[in-house]
Amino acid sequence: MSVLDKIAQIRIVPLVTLDDPNDAVPLAHALVEGGIPVAEVTFRTAVGGEVIERMAKEVPEIIVGSGTVHDIDHAMETRDRGGKFVITPGFNPKVVDWCIKHDMPVCPGTVTPSDLEQALDFGLNTVKFFPAGAYGGVKTLKALAGPYAMMKFVPTGGVNLDNLLEFLSLKNVAACGGSFVPPSSAVKAKDWKAVTETCKKIVSMVKSLG
């Protein structure tokens, strides 16, 4: 089973942005214990690469990859640090091409039919839909399901606990990503138990869909 298929089974992609790399391992454990063993570690801070490496080496149960990847250098760093996937905010053909040629699962950002045509040209069938809220959310995804029935989406940006199930109930949604997990307040407070409890609540919500 591919990495993206495993993520589609879990259905949630936690967005992780850390300033302190020492938080990497306890946060990873908290996510695993909460039943969401995935982490999209963003390169929005200087320690993103170190966070990926620590999670990958010390918490092998978690599927850790990178987010906010704008260039090939960060895609390479993801691989070299032990990351298992790359997520980009927009469709960058150079990054996608590098990932495919180096067997790195990639989930590029898309919002328009033109983006999706590029994704199809590269042979991709799972893409990010970002920023989901600003580009019509559930309504747009329903509209795209007709001409792009072969495509699965990971909506991110504007997804929260209030609309999560509405997104996940769509047949063309593989998983949802966002900063609703782990809660930033809990991470800042280093309250790993709160992170685990939030994950368990979300897992319970997802299971309610059947």
48-94 per-position pLDDT tens digit: 999 999 999 999 999 999 999 999 999 999 999 999 999 999 999 99
* CB of 14 closer than 8 Å to CB of 37: no
**pTM (2 d.p.):** 0.97
Q: What is the rounded average pLDDT for all residues in the chain?
A: 98
pLDDT tens profile 25-51: 999 999 999 999 999 999 999 999 999
Who's near 74: CB < 8 A, 6+ residues apart? 43, 48, 66, 86
Confidence of residue 152 (pLDDT cuts 50, 70, 90): very high
Residue 131 amino acid letter: P
Q: Which of 6, 40, 57, 188 is catalytic?
A: 40
Pairwise CA distance, residues 104 & 111, whole Å: 22
Q: In this model, does residue 210 exceed pLDDT 90?
A: no
Q: What is the DSSP letter of 77?
A: H
84 classed as catalytic: no
* CB of 130 closer than 8 Å to CB of 89: yes
* CB of 164 closer than 8 Å to CB of 137: no
Q: Which of 53, 77, 84, 128 is catalytic?
A: 128
Residue 120, token pair as written in the block: 């199809």
128 classed as catalytic: yes
Percent over 90 (pLDDT), the chain: 100
Burial (CB < 10 A; 0-12, 13-18, 19+), residue 197, is middle
